[in-house]
């Protein structure tokens, strides 16, 4: 108690003095020489070759993350991370000149926990002396195409926090390192810049782009990764590695390689030093011609290498010795052990200007028929599960903070969020949510998420019990999307609590599987809520198989307050009206107060969409098609479609059906036209009362393969909008990028795959527009898409393939499960909105956000205890619409991490693209904020201590954007697209 009061007083005192940097002083420890100071000296008048010993350790791919750690299942792939770290530490101790970088904290953390205190001390010393250096340092090396920024920030925060807490400032990586991801997102670059990295290196980019950059000496560049944040906030120096992430040809000395060792005994027959040195000099000099400075980098390592590090280091020691020995005879090549940050420091010292890039590195092709655009959609069920898991985790994190310690130990036992945090963090890996892992590994990621969610459920139940003063047992229904929920299917009286993780109130349509035909629903104030009962569709019965038996769905609108819940009571009516009836065929139109959609009388397809508020209308047809996946047998190339690569046999997809069989249900709450295209494709066109979005709920699968043809199913929207072959996609769920068919902004494209070469990742939304109309499609997971024809937007929904695409996974992407031995069925939703540009953004931006962070439903059976608190908000007031509460999570005892985000781009909206000020003190209803300090985006540095290298662009036409000062440390101002991260000291009220 006394201690708490003291700290509180200190925080208030600091506030009065106007400085708020608690709780630590400067991070530098003068006794150590890690970081840039620990780099080996270079020679100004020579070509300096930086040798970077490294290992690339996938956090799951052909084996699960645990199998990789232990070196289990070496029959699948010889790889054991624990042995790599053992061996490297041993070898680093043998020669202080040696260097090693380590990247994936998910593995390092596992290893560290199992080391003795003396080994930990030894490793600490290696880190303090810069001999072992962490780069990137997130829990994993995330995929860039299919990850959502919120989950990427979380996984980076988790890894970097472990490094800081274990090693202090010397554990802080200076360089971001994405050597393997298959294309690079602009939003990742923006995040890395805001996380304080001085530079970024990667290995893969389009082969034409690379050729162009080699000629132009632009393999090192300055990436300006935001058009809203004032430079240099989102500027990131970016280097493209010379050889992917492999050693130069002939210089792989790992136990997994066959290159000749350096045989340096002149008495022996096989003496080869002269040969090795001259080959090396040749490669170094050739490499220097395509980079700008007298420094070049060579990555000495590859996938899971250094398990027997002696082999590598023994030969590298000799290489350095013999190459540098020639300097005595006038050689101008200097080789050294180095790290990416030491190399970066030399580039920075060169004081040059660098080409400025403002677009991104998608799509990635490694040859003319080999576009890595299939993984944008691969494993659509896992992609959705990952996305909904993020939503559930954010809810779990928020409730842990809002209810305090009661959430961790309460009536339901010990709850915790750590398991789910780790499961989400490994799921961001570039072979996880990307869908490019083996099937058993995909199952492992899903199992981890499910385990995590179970632990979080206990926490959520405890929190809701504390906040509502009711310890009634909470039941979770994770299969509502297929109308399965044992409680609602059988109960005559139950309550549903809707928790809203957004910082503004939301309305949401709830659909509950039931077997009664009439129900009464009342809200938290006891008022009756309009509700309707509609029959469960044949498609839903098909996809749920034998997992539930509801015949009807109860549908009603709920409202939930910001960061809070509202509880609705549901009871079965004995003598109520019958359920709404299905009518055969479709009406000419369905409409609500905002939207009107019409259907073609003959085909049953959509024919137009109108916004009744803005009085705009477009022609809109939508249908389903499939591309025949290449089996690799054709004249241009033998590349098949696979988990990574999308390669249709023909640019014209097959139509699944010209017409849809339809039936319709129309009620005061919802109107649905159910379309049936084939036994494996159906859809519901759905319009809820009061909604500004038209919902298309698609159900696709099992994709038939009895014709021996792999299938890639798309839906295509064809409109009257004049798009001039341009469309727009979001980057990791944040800023939007312009895409033009057969065009790349920084080089002249020779297009060789007219469909696959025009596909881009759609993370949460894509749109097409002209001067009058903007049609936005919000997706519920990452998907690939393109605009191949004027006015058209296509989205790939599902893929089932019969061949491996020869990129290592060595399995065809042919997903089945015990419930779906005949092939996975996947269901999802697209939300369509029609707006008037250029002020279009508000509606679709908010719809997209509601799709990412969804309300969580919990159920209690029977009557509610009369003392139950039926409504609660964790905020004193809703945040302004432009502000998104991105993170609220427990950091430490009485410390919470808060991220606030301005969610509009600077040009996006007249109303919302303005700076907004938020008061931190008046934010929460359950706790008082007594101290605040601002951190960098990844929360591993105090904001005022963040210093980054400055880099100059060759040309700079970016308009100068205004910066703003906070009114006070408690009143923080957010500019368009800005995310601000705060550590708050809180006291529960």
Ligand X SMILES: *[C@@H]1O[C@H](CO)[C@@H](O)[C@H](O)[C@H]1NC(C)=O
Instruction: Please give the positions annotated as active site.
Output: 180
Query: What is the closest distance, in whole angstroms, from the C-beta atom of residue 757 to Zn ion in the complex?
Result: 23
The tokens describing 510, both together, are 């709830």
- Euclidean distance between CA atoms 96 and 98, whole angstroms: 5
Token duo for residue 114? 């199992």
528 binds, among ligand X, Zn ion, none (CB under 5 to 8 A by kind): none
* Residue 912, contacted partner among Zn ion, ligand X, none, CB below 5-8 A by kind: none
24 binds, among Zn ion, ligand X, none (CB under 5 to 8 A by kind): ligand X
| Closest distance of CB 920 from ligand X, Å | 18
- The site partner of 58 among ligand X, Zn ion, none (C-beta below 5 to 8 Å per kind) is Zn ion
Stretch that binds ligand X, among 161-169, 270-278, 405-413, 965-973 (CB under 6 A): 161-169
Query: Given the rule CB under 6 A, which of 492-500, 757-765, 786-794, 940-948 is the region that contacts ligand X?
Result: 940-948
- The correct pick among 71, 168, 704, 808 for binding ligand X (CB under 6 A) is 168
Torsion of CA 11, 16, 19, 21, to 10 degrees: 0
Greatest Cα pair distance, the chain, in angstroms, is 102
Closest residue to Zn ion, based on beta-carbon distance: 180
> For Zn ion, which is the closer residue by CB, 58 or 794?
58
Residue 64 token pair: 């699960």
Q: How far is the CB of 906 from ligand X (least distance, A)?
A: 29
| Among 942, 953, 974, 981, interactor with ligand X by CB under 6 A | 942
Report in angstroms how near the CB of residue 94 gets to Zn ion at its nearest: 29
Question: By C-beta, is 351 or 867 nearer to ligand X?
Answer: 351
User: Count of residues binding ligand X (CB under 6 A)?
Assistant: 8
Task: Note the residues at the interface with Zn ion (CB under 5 A).
Answer: 58, 180
Q: Using an 8 Å Cβ cutoff, are 887 and 875 in contact? A: no
- Choice between 26 and 754, CB closer to ligand X: 26
Interface map 351-390 toward ligand X (x if CB under 6 A): x---------------------------------------
Q: Segment contacting ligand X (CB under 6 A): 328-336, 362-370, 934-942, 955-963?
A: 934-942
Q: What's the CA gap between 300 and 55, in Å, rounded?
A: 8
Buried b (16+ CB within 10 A) or exposed e, 125-156: ebbbbbbbbbbbbbbbbbbbbbbbbbbbbbbb
- Residues 179 and 297: beta-carbon distance below 8 Å: no
Per-residue string for binding with ligand X, 477-516, x by CB under 6 A?
----------------------------------------
Nearer to ligand X, 169 or 696 (CB): 169
Q: Which is nearer to ligand X, 37 or 706 (CB)?
A: 37
Q: How far is the CB of 411 from Zn ion (least distance, A)?
A: 44
Q: Which is nearer to ligand X, 624 or 982 (CB)?
A: 982
Q: Select from ligand X, Zn ion, none the partner in contact with residue 940, using the beta carbon and a kind-dependent cut-off of 5 to 8 Å.
A: ligand X
How many residues make up the chain in this entry? 989
Please give the structure tokens belonging to residue 928: 């008082």
CA–CA separation, 797 and 719 (whole Å)? 19
Q: Which residue has the tokens 């058209």?
A: 792
If you search the block for the tokens 């699960």, which residue do you land on? 64
Cα separation, 762 vs 327, in Å, equals 53
Beta carbon nearer to ligand X, 631 or 945: 945
Report residue 979 as tokens: 């995310």
Binds 938: which of ligand X, Zn ion, none (CB < 5-8 Å by kind) = none
Question: What minimum distance in Å lies between the beta carbon of 460 and Zn ion?
Answer: 34
Q: Decide whether 441 or 721 has the Cβ nearer to Zn ion.
A: 441
Q: Is the peptide bond before 810 cis (omega within 30 degrees of 0)?
A: no
The residue range among 205-213, 235-243, 355-363, 939-947 that interacts with ligand X, by the rule CB under 6 A, is 939-947
The residues pairing with 684 across neighbouring beta strands, listed in sequence order, are: 674, 697
Which DSSP helix (H) or strand (E) runs through 388? helix 380-403
Question: Cβ(608)–Cβ(771) under 8 Å?
Answer: no
Min dist CB 165 to ligand X, Å, is 5
Choice from 896, 941, 981, 985 touching ligand X (CB under 6 A)? 941
Query: Which partner from the list ligand X, Zn ion, none does 941 bind, CB cut-off 5 to 8 Å by kind?
Result: ligand X
Residues 297-356 that bind ligand X (CB under 6 A): 351
Q: What is the DSSP letter of 361?
A: B
Min CB(167)–ligand X separation in Å: 8
581: phi then psi, degrees, rounded to nearest 5: -100, 150
Give the shortest CB-196-to-ligand X separation in angstroms: 10
Distances (CA, A) of 666 to 532, 578, 686, 981: 10, 14, 10, 46
Residue 675 binding partner per list ligand X, Zn ion, none, with a CB distance cut-off of 5 to 8 Å that depends on partner kind = none
- The number of angstroms, rounded, from the C-alpha of 980 to the middle of its chain's C-alpha atoms is 19
Q: Which CB sits closer to ligand X, 120 or 668? A: 120
Nearer to Zn ion, 60 or 874 (CB): 60
Asked if residue 433 lies in contact with residue 382, where contact means CB atoms within 8 angstroms, the answer is yes
Of 145-153, 361-369, 701-709, 937-945, which part binds ligand X (CB under 6 A)? 937-945
Q: Does 742 help bind ligand X (rule: CB under 6 A)?
A: no
**Other Cβ atoms within 10 Å of 551 Cβ, number:** 16
**Nearest to 556, CA basis, from 574, 568, 573, 538:** 568
Lookup: tokens for 822: 């005949």
Instruction: Give the torsion through C-alpha atoms of 686, 687, 691, 693, to 10 deg.
Output: 50
Q: Give the one residue of 165, 249, 259, 944 binding ligand X; rule: CB under 6 A.
A: 165
**Smaller CB distance to ligand X: residue 159 or 855?**
159
Give the span between the Cα atoms of 39 and 6, in whole angstroms. 43
Q: Which is nearer to ligand X, 283 or 983 (CB)?
A: 983
253 Cβ neighbours under 8 A, 6+ residues apart? 247, 259, 261, 311, 312, 314, 315, 316
Smallest gap from Cβ 61 to Zn ion, in A, equals 6
β-bridge pairing 661-666 and 583-584? antiparallel
Q: Could you give the C-alpha distances from 736 to 228, 282, 358, 776, in angstroms and in order? A: 11, 44, 12, 12
Q: Binds 164, which of Zn ion, ligand X, none (CB < 5 to 8 A, cut-off by type)?
A: ligand X
Distance CA 514, CA 176 (A): 51
Contact pattern from residue 74 through residue 103 relative to ligand X, giving x for each residue in contact according to CB under 6 A and a dash for the rest: ------------------------------
Q: Which is nearer to ligand X, 44 or 877 (CB)?
A: 44
Q: Which of residues 2-41 bind ligand X (CB under 6 A)?
A: 24
Asked if 734 and 740 touch (Cβ cutoff 8 Å), the reply is no
4 binds, among ligand X, Zn ion, none (CB under 5 to 8 A by kind): none
Least Å from the CB of residue 53 to Zn ion: 17
Q: How many CA atoms lie within 13 A of 326 on its CB side?
A: 18
Q: What 3-state class would DSSP assign to 860?
A: strand
Q: What is the smallest separation between the CB atom of 221 and ligand X, expressed in angstroms?
A: 18
- In angstroms, give the least distance from the CB of 23 to ligand X: 7
DSSP at 510: E
Select from Zn ion, ligand X, none the partner in contact with residue 209, using the beta carbon and a kind-dependent cut-off of 5 to 8 Å: none
User: From CA 739, how far away is CA 766, in angstroms rounded?
Assistant: 10
Query: Among residues 940, 975, 978, 981, which is the contact residue for ligand X, using CB under 6 A?
Result: 940
Q: Which does 489 bind (CB under 5 to 8 A by kind): Zn ion, ligand X, none?
A: none
942 binds, among Zn ion, ligand X, none (CB under 5 to 8 A by kind): ligand X
Q: How far out from the chain centre does Cα 146 lie?
A: 6
Cα–Cα distance measured from residue 417 to residue 396, given in angstroms and rounded to the nearest whole number: 7
Residues that bind ligand X (CB under 6 A): 24, 164-165, 168, 351, 940-942
């Amino acid at each position: 108690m006394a201690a708490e009061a003291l700290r509180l007083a200190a925080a208030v005192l600091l506030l009065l003095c106007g400085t708020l940097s608690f709780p630590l002083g400067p991070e530098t420890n003068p006794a150590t020489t890690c970081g840039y100071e620990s780099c080996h000296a270079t020679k100004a008048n020579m070509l300096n070759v930086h040798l970077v010993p490294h290992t690339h350790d996938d956090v799951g791919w052909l084996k699960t993350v645990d199998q990789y750690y232990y070196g289990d299942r070496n029959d699948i792939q010889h790889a054991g991370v624990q042995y790599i770290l053992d061996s490297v530490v041993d070898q680093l101790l043998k020669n202080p000149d040696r260097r090693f970088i380590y990247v994936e904290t998910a593995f390092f953390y596992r290893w560290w926990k199992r080391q003795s205190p003396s080994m930990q001390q030894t490793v600490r010393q290696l880190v303090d002396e810069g001999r072992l250096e962490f780069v990137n340092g997130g829990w994993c090396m995330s995929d860039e195409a299919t990850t959502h920024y919120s989950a990427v920030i979380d996984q980076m925060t988790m890894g970097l926090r472990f490094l800081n807490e274990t090693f202090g400032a010397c554990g802080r990586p200076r360089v971001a390192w994405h050597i393997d991801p298959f294309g690079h997102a602009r939003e990742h670059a923006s995040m890395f810049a805001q996380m304080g990295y001085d530079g970024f290196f990667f290995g893969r980019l389009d082969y034409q782009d690379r050729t162009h950059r080699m000629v132009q000496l632009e393999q090192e560049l300055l990436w300006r990764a935001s058009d809203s944040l004032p430079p240099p906030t989102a500027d990131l120096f970016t280097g493209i590695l010379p050889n992917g992430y492999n050693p130069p040809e002939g210089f792989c000395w790992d136990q997994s390689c066959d290159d000749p060792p350096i045989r340096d005994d002149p008495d022996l027959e096989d003496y080869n030093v002269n040969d090795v040195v001259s080959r090396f000099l040749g490669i170094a000099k050739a490499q220097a011609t395509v980079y700008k400075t007298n420094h070049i980098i060579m990555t000495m390592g590859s996938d899971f290498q250094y398990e027997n590090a002696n082999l590598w280091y023994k030969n590298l020691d000799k290489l350095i010795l013999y190459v540098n020995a020639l300097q005595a005879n006038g050689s101008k090549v200097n080789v050294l052990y180095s790290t990416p940050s030491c190399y970066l420091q030399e580039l920075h010292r060169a004081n040059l200007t660098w080409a400025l890039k403002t677009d991104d590195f998608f799509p990635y092709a490694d040859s003319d028929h080999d576009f890595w655009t299939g993984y944008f959609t691969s494993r659509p069920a896992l992609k959705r599960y990952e996305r909904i898991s993020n939503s559930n985790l954010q809810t779990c994190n928020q409730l842990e903070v809002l209810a305090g310690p009661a959430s961790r130990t309460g009536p339901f036992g010990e709850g915790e969020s750590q398991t789910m945090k780790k499961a989400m963090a490994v799921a961001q890996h570039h072979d996880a949510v990307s869908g490019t892992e083996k099937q058993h590994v995909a199952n492992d990621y899903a199992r981890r998420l499910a385990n995590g969610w179970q632990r979080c459920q206990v926490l959520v139940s405890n929190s809701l019990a504390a906040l509502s003063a009711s310890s009634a047992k909470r039941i979770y229904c994770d299969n509502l999307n297929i109308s399965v929920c044992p409680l609602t299917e059988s109960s005559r009286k139950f309550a549903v609590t809707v928790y809203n993780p957004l910082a503004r109130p939301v309305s949401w349509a709830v659909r509950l599987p039931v077997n009664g035909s009439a129900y009464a629903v009342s809200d938290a104030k006891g008022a009756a809520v309009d509700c309707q009962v509609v029959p469960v569709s044949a498609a839903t019965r098909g996809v749920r198989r034998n997992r539930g038996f509801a015949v009807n769905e109860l549908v009603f609108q709920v409202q939930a307050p910001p960061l809070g819940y509202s509880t609705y009571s549901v009871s079965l009516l004995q003598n109520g009206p019958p359920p709404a009836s299905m009518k055969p065929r479709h009406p000419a139109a369905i409409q609500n107060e905002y939207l009107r959609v019409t259907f073609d009388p003959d085909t049953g397809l959509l024919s137009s969409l109108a916004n009744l508020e803005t009085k705009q209308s477009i022609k809109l047809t939508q249908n389903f098609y499939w591309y025949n996946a290449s089996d690799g047998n054709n004249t241009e190339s033998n590349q098949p479609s696979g988990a990574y690569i999308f390669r249709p046999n023909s640019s014209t997809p097959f139509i699944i059906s010209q017409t849809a069989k339809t039936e319709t249900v129309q009620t005061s709450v919802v109107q649905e036209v159910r379309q049936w295209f084939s036994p494996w494709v159906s859809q519901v066109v759905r319009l809820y009362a009061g909604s500004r979005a038209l919902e298309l709920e698609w159900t696709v699968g099992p994709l038939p393969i009895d014709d021996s043809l792999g299938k890639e199913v798309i839906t295509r929207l064809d409109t009257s909008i004049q798009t001039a072959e341009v469309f727009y996609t979001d980057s990791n769920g944040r800023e939007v990028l312009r895409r033009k068919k057969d065009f790349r902004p920084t080089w002249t494209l020779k297009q060789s795959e007219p469909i696959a070469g025009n596909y881009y990742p759609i993370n949460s939304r894509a749109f097409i527009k002209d001067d009058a109309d903007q049609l936005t499609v919000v997706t519920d997971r990452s998907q690939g898409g393109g605009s191949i024809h004027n006015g058209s937007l296509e989205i790939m929904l599902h893929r089932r393939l019969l061949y491996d695409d020869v990129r290592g996974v060595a399995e065809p992407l042919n997903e089945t499960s015990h419930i779906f031995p005949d092939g996975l069925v996947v269901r999802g939703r697209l939300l369509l909105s029609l707006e008037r540009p250029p002020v279009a953004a508000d509606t679709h931006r908010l719809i997209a956000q509601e799709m990412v962070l969804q309300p969580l439903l919990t159920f209690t059976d029977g009557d509610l205890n009369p003392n139950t608190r039926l409504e609660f908000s964790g905020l004193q007031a809703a945040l302004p619409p432009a502000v998104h509460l991105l993170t609220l999570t427990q950091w430490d005892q009485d410390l919470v991490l808060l991220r606030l985000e301005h969610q509009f781009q600077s040009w996006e909206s007249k109303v919302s693209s303005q700076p907004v000020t938020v008061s931190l003190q008046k934010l929460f209803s359950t706790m008082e904020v007594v101290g605040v300090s601002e951190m960098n985006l990844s929360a591993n540095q105090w904001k005022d201590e963040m210093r980054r290298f400055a880099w100059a662009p060759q040309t700079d036409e970016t308009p100068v954007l205004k910066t703003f000062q906070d009114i006070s440390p408690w009143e923080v101002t957010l500019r368009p697209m800005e995310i601000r991260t705060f550590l708050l000291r809180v006291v529960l009220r």
